[in-house]
Amino acid sequence: MDARTGGRFPSPLTAGVPRRCCRLVPDRGNRVGPISLLVIGIITAHCMVILLNCANHLSQRLQKTFVNYGEAMMYSLESCPNAWLRTHSVWGR
């Protein structure tokens, strides 16, 4: 047992790393984690707005009262210029 580790065995992840660096690594997660969560939340909300706009546009274009997410994907793929995607648009549902 090592006196520096307080009687514990050293972690294989921190073996050979200076002790001052080990104290900095956990602090980075406390700062980067909430910022990353906020960025991912903003990106997700933006994508959902785009999806809702597409569903609204498709429901007006196809004269349907309601288009769910699967149908919005399927109808979008049916109207795209790529022939392979048009033939496999059912997979989007």
Q: What is the pLDDT of residues 36-72, one digit of tens each?
A: 999 999 999 999 999 899 999 999 999 999 888 888 8
Determine the distance from the C-alpha atom of residue 53 to the mean position of all C-alpha atoms in its chain, rounded to a whole number: 20
**Domain assignments of the chain as residue spans, ordered by start:** 19-92
Angle at alpha carbon of residue 82, lines to 77 and 84, rounded to 5° = 80
For residue 85, what pLDDT is reported? 86
Average pLDDT on 12-20 reads 58
Token pair, residue 29, equals: 């997660």
Angle at alpha carbon of residue 13, lines to 7 and 14, rounded to 5° = 55
| Nearest-angstrom CA–CA distance, 26 and 24 | 6
For residue 42, what pLDDT is reported? 98
More confident call, 46 vs 7:
46
- Contact partners, residue 73, CB within 8 Å, separation at least 6: 92, 93
